[in-house]
Amino acid sequence: MPDALKVGVAGLGTVGAATVKLLAEHAPLLALRCDRPIRVVAVAARDRARGRGIDLKPYRWFDDPVALARDPGVDAVVEVIGGADGPARATCRAAIEAGKHLVTANKALLAKEGTAIARLAEAKGVRLGFEAAVAGGIPIIKALREGLAANRIARVFGILNGTCNYILTTMRTTGREFADVLADAQKLGYAEADPSFDIDGVDAAHKLSVLASLAFGTEIDFAAMHVEGIRHVSATDFAFADELGFRIKLLGIAERIGHAGGEGERPRIAQRVHPCLVAADSPIAAVDGVFNGVVVEGDYVGTQMFEGRGAGGGPTASAVVADLIDMARGVAVPAFAIPAAKLVKAEPVAIDRRVGAYYVRLMVMDKPGVIADVTAALRDEQVSLEAMIQRARAPGEAVPVVMVMHETGEAGMMRAMARIAKLGTVAEPPRVIRIERL
């Protein structure tokens, strides 16, 4: 049997510890499947005294992950430190420069400089794996890079953040407000003490930027991403959405706009993360709790959906080890499906070019003429009203009014909302959620 693939694990948090545990527990199975062992030989973390539920005595310990990355006794480095800068970035670059294969779960780093890292890896003749960076245990990277490689991808979208999906699911099923459910999510460990990256959509946007590069053969362009979070979604919105036959989900959507063009032409790509209303009977609406779901639309394969746990030690470690297995087997597939040197710059399509339907909730004073003022603003921007719901009456007080718009342009829609927000009879800014026909 060939020599073992010797692995160094940088970072011993939830994912790092689970990776070490998986490789130890499944060592005979992995050796059989790879025709060579995969063996952890070194680990790096800041705190040696912290309990991790695994025996670390067999492994060389490094306080400095960069030193681990340069160790001549390591063939492949697993970076699960996290963060777009600092030790994680230094470790990844040091590993590649030292001629080591690299497996990373670091979506923030990939969103920032994934194209450059892939080019460096190719120049050094080492392999880069990042299955664990997107959607946890769902093998969506391998699916896009290999299983669907024969297809021209038109769109990839999905639920990419389990924290947000848990919060939105709980709000819908319990009728509780956002802040209350967020506090519970933090107590349960589903949300960080500072949940901003999750609830403001940044984490999902990092992941989407990686998927878009894989799907369309483009350089990662996180700066072109439109990002909105879920802070403004209320229990009232869920009640109206249910009445209208919708579910509310935070989706990441990347799509090719217009003709695909010929070889060498810059594709026009829209990338956006924001709350969406989706039909209650659509497959993506059924993805609840902490689960993730990703949908890929290919020209020959049609629509494919992938669902599973998007985070957690076990699922993410499974994805990390999947990349190590490929390295042990000698599988050499370009990290972004095509050679990194051939990734092209996309032409970004801004959110204001979107055309679609919209849900709008207003809190307006219950006075004569209010609706006329609102509809005048819509009329002037050529926004057509499909339906309106007003249930409560409270003369002189603010009451909710919900409107559903026919398909219209984003730019005109936002101009209308800005004008409506200035009306003296509108008690708070309009709450707008895009309706996606997926």
* CATH no. for 5-133: 3.40.50.720
Instruction: Report the alpha-carbon distance of residue 48 to residue 240 in Å, rounded.
Output: 52
Three-state secondary-structure class, residue 4: coil
CA of 370: how far to CAs of 58, 99, 220, 428, in Å? 73, 68, 46, 14
Instruction: Report the alpha-carbon distance of residue 197 to residue 273 in Å, rounded.
Output: 13
CA of 185: how far to CAs of 142, 165, 170, 227, 290, in Å? 31, 11, 10, 22, 10
pLDDT at 263: 59
pLDDT at 179: 96
Helix axes 235-244, 162-174, angle to 10 degrees: 80
pLDDT at 261: 52
Active site residue 207: yes
Instruction: Report the alpha-carbon distance of residue 227 to residue 250 in Å, rounded.
Output: 10
Radius of gyration of the chain (CA): 24
- The DSSP bridge pattern shows strands 5-10 and 76-79 to be parallel
Are the C-beta atoms of 18 and 52 separated by less than 8 Å?
Answer: no
Q: What is the pTM of this model?
A: 0.94
pLDDT at 2: 78
CA of 50: how far to CAs of 47, 95, 181, 313, 316, in Å? 6, 25, 30, 17, 21
The CB-side HSE value for 306 (13 A sphere, CA atoms) comes to 23
CATH fold of 354-435? Alpha-Beta Plaits (3.30.70)
Q: What single-letter DSSP state applies at residue 324?
A: H
Q: Kindly compute the dihedral angle of the four CA atoms of residues 254, 274, 318, 33, in this order, to the nearest 10 degrees.
A: -20
Are the C-beta atoms of 105 and 320 separated by less than 8 Å?
Answer: yes
- Ordered DSSP codes for 218-265: B---GGG-EE--STT--HHHHHHHHHHTEEEEEEEEEEE-S----TTP
pLDDT at 212: 98
Catalytic one among 6, 100, 207, 249?
Answer: 207
CA of 43: how far to CAs of 26, 89, 105, 219, 412, in Å? 18, 17, 16, 32, 55
Domain boundaries, the chain: 5-133, 140-309, 354-435
pLDDT at 49: 73
pLDDT by position in tens, the chain (length 438):
679 999 999 999 999 999 999 999 999 999 999 999 999 999 999 888 787 888 899 999 999 999 999 999 999 999 999 999 999 999 999 999 999 999 999 999 999 999 999 999 999 999 999 999 999 999 999 999 999 999 999 999 999 999 999 999 999 999 999 999 999 999 988 999 999 999 999 999 999 999 999 999 999 999 999 999 999 999 999 999 999 999 999 999 999 998 655 555 789 999 999 999 999 999 999 999 999 999 999 999 999 999 999 888 999 999 999 999 999 999 999 999 999 999 999 999 999 999 999 999 999 988 888 999 999 999 999 999 999 998 767 676 788 999 999 999 999 999 999 999 999 999 999 999 999 998
* CATH no. for 140-309: 3.30.360.10
Q: Which two tokens stand for residue 251?
A: 């989706």
pLDDT at 358: 98
Among all chains, which residue has been given the structure tokens 């030193």?
Answer: 67
Are the C-beta atoms of 412 and 405 separated by less than 8 Å?
Answer: no
pLDDT at 163: 96
